[in-house]
Amino acid sequence: MFSNYLIGLREGLEASLVVCILIAYLVKTDRRDALKPIWAGIAVALALALGFGCALEFGSQELTFQAQEALGGSLSILAVGLVTWMVFWMRRTARHLKSELHGRLDAALAMGTGALVATAFLAVGREGLETALFVWASVHAASDGTPRPLLGVALGLLTAVLLGWLFYRGALRINLAKFFTWTGGMLVVVAAGVLAYGFHDLQEADFLPGLTDKAFDISGTIPPDSWYGTLLKGILNFQPDPTTLQVTVWLLYLIPTLALFLAPTRTTAPTPVRDKA
């Protein structure tokens, strides 16, 4: 449940901050007339993300077991790729997010209502689609037959909305660079579990070999139906009897990705401009 809460919080807060920055800029520049197109674009983006999530969930139920596992594994790998790109992108641009959005909004204001709707839609829609895909993959991986994974996502999204509102009201000051670095690192750990589970799905679909080749089996020590087994599965997508391929994929993704993500960023000094003789 915690991993799904983290996903909802992290992804939801990105979207909330984008909305707050857009709205606050229009209010401060006395362009309240542009708020309706912005809200329209946000509403369309949210509807698209919700529809995409519903299509993934209900569409997959009509497939055979093998097709469901193949789809689940493929989308899990795609979701991990998108989330990995997103956490690195946000780590790099968190400090400049506000100025970047302001620039886009200025250009949209000059172009008219349609451009405002498109700007809000693109700014929020990308986050919404990524969130829907990764939430679906994570819930699919951590599913234990209870609504706890979805409850965790819902609580995370509600927390993100609250934090975004407090941020907009000026009641909360967030160091975005540090926040996205810490949550991004935790999200990489969650993504490693989703990726390993995605490869397991492909093994169950007979797309990849090695389903019976277990790396280890500690089900007797950590029963999957125990409270601590459920807790480990909910936080880390832990599986007490993973295949050798799952463990290999988990290690090959987690170690280099986390090392690169947590490595200190280098800032290059500007090149001095020489006067022409």
Tell me the backbone φ, ψ of residue 214, rounded to 5 degrees: -85, 135
Helix axes 176-204, 244-262, angle to 10 degrees: 160
Question: What does the block give as tokens for 11?
Answer: 């992804």
Residue position matching structure tokens 């197109």: 37
Residue 77 has pLDDT above 70, yes or no: yes
Tell me the pLDDT tens digit for each residue of 201-246: 999 999 999 888 999 888 888 887 776 777 677 666 778 889 999 9
pLDDT digits (tens, 9 = 90+) for 30-61: 888 888 888 888 899 889 988 888 888 787 77
| Lookup: tokens for 54 | 């519903």
CB atoms within 10 A of CB 221: 9
What was the pLDDT predicted at 277?
42
- Are the C-beta atoms of residues 210 and 245 closer than 8 Å to each other? yes
pLDDT at site 259: 92
Percent of the chain with pLDDT over 90: 10
Considering the entire predicted model, what is its pTM? Answer: 0.72
List all residues 6 or more positions away from 94 whose beta carbon is below 8 Å from its beta carbon: 176, 177, 179, 180
Among the ranges given (60-64, 108-112, 173-177, 207-211), the one the predictor scored with the smallest mean pLDDT = 173-177
Neighbouring C-beta atoms of residue 98, cutoff 10 Å:
16
At residue 243, φ and ψ (nearest 5 deg) are -80, 165
